Amino acid sequence: MEIKDNSFSRQFEITTTEGILTVEYSLQERKIFLTRINTPENFDNEELIDNIIINILSMVEEKKWRVVPIYPRIASFFRKNPSYKNLLPPGIRI
């Protein structure tokens, strides 16, 4: 799976068979705010969304940034996967 970082549009883009899936973000200092997931119509592959989030988090971890999950779907991912809570900035509890 290839995740393209479109920094001009401030979104990660993934091409699937159903269409383009995007994860919008905002950067401030050394924090990335994950603000929205846009999926094609009639898209319901939750496992693919989890894999995309995992790949994005690995890219963020390499850059030594912190993640602020704004979008509820991403926040629920952090609740279900406590091993990624080390990427949250100090003071953020999910």
Over residues 17-62, the pLDDT tens digits come to 889 999 999 999 999 999 999 999 888 889 999 999 999 999 999 9
CA angle 80, 3, 78 (to 5 degrees): 15
Q: For position 84, what pLDDT does the model report?
A: 94
What is the spatial distance between Cα 64 and Cα 19, in angstroms, rounded to a whole number? Answer: 31
Q: Are 21 and 2 in contact (CB under 8 A)?
A: no
Helix (H, G, I), strand (E, B) or coil at 69: strand
pTM of the shown model? 0.90
* Helix residue spans in the chain (DSSP H): 46-62, 72-80
Q: Are 86 and 58 in contact (CB under 8 A)?
A: no
Which pLDDT score, from 0 to 100, does residue 75 have? 95
pLDDT, residue 11, reads: 96
Sequence-distant contacts of 9-17: CB under 8 A, at least 24 apart: 11/38, 12/52, 12/56, 14/52, 16/40, 16/43, 16/45, 16/48
Whether residue 1 is predicted with pLDDT greater than 80 in this model: the reply is: no
